[in-house]
Amino acid sequence: MALVLHAGSTNKNGFKALIAAEFSGAKVELVKNFEMGVSNKSPKFLEMNPIGKVPVLETPDGPVFESNAIARYVTRLKADNPLYGSSLIEYARVEQWIDFATLEIDANILRWLIPRIGFSVYLPPVEEAAVSALKRALTALNTHLSSNTYLVGHSVTLADIILTCNLTLGFSRLFTKSFTSEFPHVERYFWTLVNQPNFRKILGEVKQAESVPSIQSVKKPSQAKEPAKPKAKDEPKKEDKKESAKPKLEEAAKEEAPKPKAKNPLDLLPPSKMILDDWKRLYSNTKTNFREVAVKGFWDMYDPEGYSLWFCDYKYNDENTVSFVTLNKVGGFLQRMDLARKYAFGKMLVIGSAPPFKVKGLWLFRGQEIPKFIIDECYDMDLYEWRKVDITDEDQKERVNQMIEDHEPFEGEDLLDAKCFK
């Protein structure tokens, strides 16, 4: 029998097991047509979990409830699963961070959110205590992540999965940009993980809350609706309703017709002589004589009216004290820039043979400004200083050449790594 998860399709506690299954190669099916307040009150569900809480995992050996226990079970299906670390101390630290994610993060998010959406009485002192405790926990987490890409070791563990699912509720419902800006390493960690394929497949696109929900009064249990009275069989049909039906149907059809997808403003710009894909192909295919072939080819293709070049410098280079953390930071940025692939080309250099490492970049964008949709959607943009390239300045032009070809040394220093977005 396949493993069946009883939960709604948007239940963040159910997401824990589903993401763990993606990493572990386990097959977990989400039950179809689950309706909260109905499905979890059925006799079958109450046999699996007498208190009716969600989620519940149906296994060949019987049911398992409580979301962390379910996620642990799914993880254990794979022998020596790296989601539990590679040593006894890593296993202990995975469990440590699972408890932290549950008791310090999730509990305080719920104490803040639940009264605001009307599921318990709103008391200002209680909210103040919850927010204070949450900030204390996020500060501790931010400190840990300042020198670590993941919670434990150098790859995703079950602790990261559970913490990210808990943070998803906070980021999507409560944590505005002004709130999370106090915790930049938590921001980097969260957006990096939710955009990894195994997370994104289950979570979908996560959008940050623009405001904290306004306070609602406590919701009363809804009353059952009276069944509609059946119409008498011999009730005469009214001609005026017949006549008005057609216009109403036509009006409904107009309302239901799909609206044309709005075009990206960059697609409305005048045509450019530069074909971005041709440049990307030349860059990828050039293996020797890079300066003479690829760099020269770039300037032959470049259209200063249709495209613009930009230098970027990371604002917080003094924090780049661990090489792999710095490289993962740049990798996450390029991953989140995927939405701009049709309109951009980029080079990112990690510079230095010893910490702190410097991160500098060169970007080619369609249009004369950095596209607004990139600034709006990719939070990393705020972490860099941006400066438009003046191609009439020979020094700036030579700097462009060196960044395109990964010239070493670059500005007198060795390159730790060079990454390309194309």
Reported confidence tier of residue 238, pLDDT bands at 50, 70, 90: very low
Q: What share of the chain has pLDDT > 90, as a percent?
A: 75
Q: Which residues lie closer than 8 Å to 171 by C-beta, 6 or more apart?
A: 180, 190, 206, 208, 209
How high is the pLDDT of residue 179? 94
Reported confidence tier of residue 348, pLDDT bands at 50, 70, 90: very high
How high is the pLDDT of residue 380? 85
Pick from 273, 360, 345, 274: nearest CA to 309: 345
The whole-number average pLDDT for the span 242-264 is: 54
The predicted-structure confidence for 53-72, as pLDDT tens digits, reads as follows 999 999 999 999 999 999 99
pTM of the model: 0.58
How high is the pLDDT of residue 328? 84
How high is the pLDDT of residue 242? 47
In this structure, are residues 193 and 187 in contact, taking their beta carbons and an 8 Å threshold?
Answer: no
Pairing of the two strands 3-6 and 28-30? parallel
Residue 7 confidence (pLDDT) above 60: yes
**Among the CATH numbers 1.10.486.10, 3.40.50.920, 3.30.70.20, 1.20.1050.10, which is that of 3-203?**
1.20.1050.10
Reported confidence tier of residue 175, pLDDT bands at 50, 70, 90: very high
In this structure, are residues 175 and 316 in contact, taking their beta carbons and an 8 Å threshold?
Answer: no
Reported confidence tier of residue 264, pLDDT bands at 50, 70, 90: confident
Reported confidence tier of residue 303, pLDDT bands at 50, 70, 90: very high
Pick from 203, 110, 191: nearest CA to 165: 203
Tell me if the domain spanning 276-421 has CATH number 3.90.1150.10. no
Residue 283 confidence (pLDDT) above 50: yes
d(CA 184, CA 421): 23
For the chain, give every domain's residue range. 3-203, 276-421
The whole-number average pLDDT for the span 267-279 is: 94
- Asked whether the bond before 270 is cis by omega within 30 degrees of 0, the reply is no
